Amino acid sequence: MMKTDTLDQIAYALYKAERERTEVTKFVDQYPELTVETAYNIQDKLIELKCTYEETTISGLKLGLTSKAKQQMMGVHEPSYGVLLANMELNAKQPISLKSFIHPKIEPEIAFVFRQDLGGPIVTVAQVLEATDYVAPAMEIIDSRYLNFNFTLPDVIADNSSSSRYIVSSQKYAVNEVDLVNMGCIFTQNDEIFATSTAGSVMGHPARAIAWMANKLIARGQHIRAGDIVLSGALTGSATMYAGDNFTVSFDGMEALTVQVER
């Protein structure tokens, strides 16, 4: 068991790194006893710090590392989740400044917005879909606080699963209006195709990823709440962001979402 003071110190070090745009090295090197469950405790403490000092509130959750390819690339063995805050949301109509980031990357997502709680005791894919108010195209900006994006699963969980900013389209679609398995996705950078995918690339169905997270939350005495925005996991690899870039995600049957980076 790690001491509470140690968990507080790690949470504050991660908060300070984000605020000051400085990188930290993996905490498992110093604390080999750091486990996944302990890392989620640190994540909770980090979110408390952010809500207090940034005077913001929780707006939802996000999944990370949902594809086997991404897990293998990052050297982890299961997905992770993090918390979204109201002050992380960006407006797609406003150019994105890179001044507050360390090494930002952007990924295409499908956002689920919930009309009712998902409290269990066991959450299924069918229950996720039933509780969903609507889905929408989205993008997430990730920005790991670790040196060279080098981390273990407990490290990234403690760092709120690399959460940074997110953009959700104003277009809303009922879950039965789109094919959440076969729907094609094209992700472009500066009008050139960066990657293509399908909705089912996220654990076979993005709602399956959300059900996985919902059950993890329930085991920790938490749950997805009515009104929460949930980013269901990246459909492709992440693209490094540079000044002047533009990014577009296009899904079959949904209006495209485009963001512009400040020059």
Going residue by residue through the chain (263 aa), what tens digit of pLDDT does each one get? 789 999 999 999 999 999 999 999 999 999 999 999 999 999 999 999 999 999 999 999 999 988 766 677 667 778 899 999 999 999 999 999 999 999 999 999 999 999 999 987 999 999 999 999 999 999 999 999 999 988 989 999 999 999 999 999 999 999 999 999 999 999 999 999 999 999 999 999 999 999 999 999 999 999 999 999 999 999 999 999 999 999 999 999 999 999 999 99
pLDDT at site 69 = 65
Q: What is the pTM of this model?
A: 0.95
Nearest to 65 by CA among 79, 83, 82: 79
| Residues 251, 253: Cα–Cα separation, whole Å | 6
In the CATH scheme, what is the homologous superfamily, with its name and number, of domain 4-260? Fumarylacetoacetase-like, C-terminal domain (3.90.850.10)
DSSP string, 119-167: --SS--HHHHHHHEEEEEEEEEEE---BGGG---HHHHHHTGGGEEEEE
Q: pLDDT at position 214, please?
A: 97
Asked if 224 and 118 touch (Cβ cutoff 8 Å), the reply is yes
Q: Report d(CA 95, CA 80) in Å as an integer.
A: 29
The backbone region for 136, taken as left when phi is positive above 0, alpha when psi lies in -120 to 50, beta otherwise, is beta
Q: Where in the chain are the domains?
A: 4-260
Side-chain half-sphere CA neighbours of 4 within 13 A: 0
- Of how many residues is the chain composed? 263
| List of long-range contacts for 1-7, beta carbons under 8 Å, 24+ apart | 1/33, 2/31, 2/33, 2/34, 2/38, 6/31, 7/38, 7/41, 7/42, 7/45
User: Which alpha helices (H) appear in 164-248, and where do they start and end?
Assistant: 206-219
Contact between 82 and 213 under an 8 Å Cβ cutoff? The reply is no
CB atoms within 10 A of CB 27: 23
